[in-house]
Amino acid sequence: MAVAIYPGSFDPITYGHIDIVRRARKLFSKLYVAIVANPHKHPLFTAEERQEITVAALAEEGLNGLEVLSFDDLLVDCARTCGADAIVRGLRANSDFENEFQMALTNRDLAPEFESVFFMTAGKYSFLSSSMVKEVCAYGGDVSSFVPQSVARALRAKLRVAG
């Protein structure tokens, strides 16, 4: 079976991301969860913190045997380093398609050896985003239906919200 890489900012990882991980690992012999250390997005958590949070969340959800890493170069370079055959991406709503399509075509131009594989998110997660989770948490809202408890604790600590 093929090896895949699932890249994202994961700032923080949500149940929507975890849904994609759970489904993708059924199709690939090895799945890397790769955290993009993109400083242009101004993440709440550092790349190292996001990696720690992601590892804890996946363990909490019983998703073991995955490698979580971070990278700060081109995705295709990271994929080559991992020995990946495919790049996994999740699609939530129609608005995701155009951007994901453009990225997939760019990646194909840069590295035609990789296939982009898209997973439609589960309906209940179709409008879930890390940005929305951070905002709800910042105002003291309950995010337990959006993220594992380890992620909720990390968010409350970072945002200094009582929990």
Is 130 in the active site? Answer: yes
| Catalytic one of 25, 50, 70, 130 | 130
Domain boundaries of the chain, sorted by first residue: 3-124
17 included as an active-site residue: yes
Q: Which two tokens stand for residue 75?
A: 């995705």
Alpha-carbon gap, residue 163 to 155, rounded angstroms: 10
Average pLDDT over residues 58-85: 96
The one catalytic residue among 17, 25, 50, 89: 17
Nearest to 60 by CA among 14, 91, 123, 20: 14
Note the CATH architecture for domain 3-124: 3-Layer(aba) Sandwich (3.40)
Higher local confidence (pLDDT), 65 or 118: 118
The answer, yes or no, to whether residue 96 has pLDDT greater than 90, is no
* Catalytic hit among 29, 41, 124, 144: 41
Q: Look at residues 25, 30, 9 and name the one whose alpha carbon lies nearest to residue 133.
A: 9
Q: How confident is the model at residue 38 (pLDDT cuts 50, 70, 90)?
A: confident
**Which of 25, 50, 89, 92 does the annotation list as catalytic?**
92
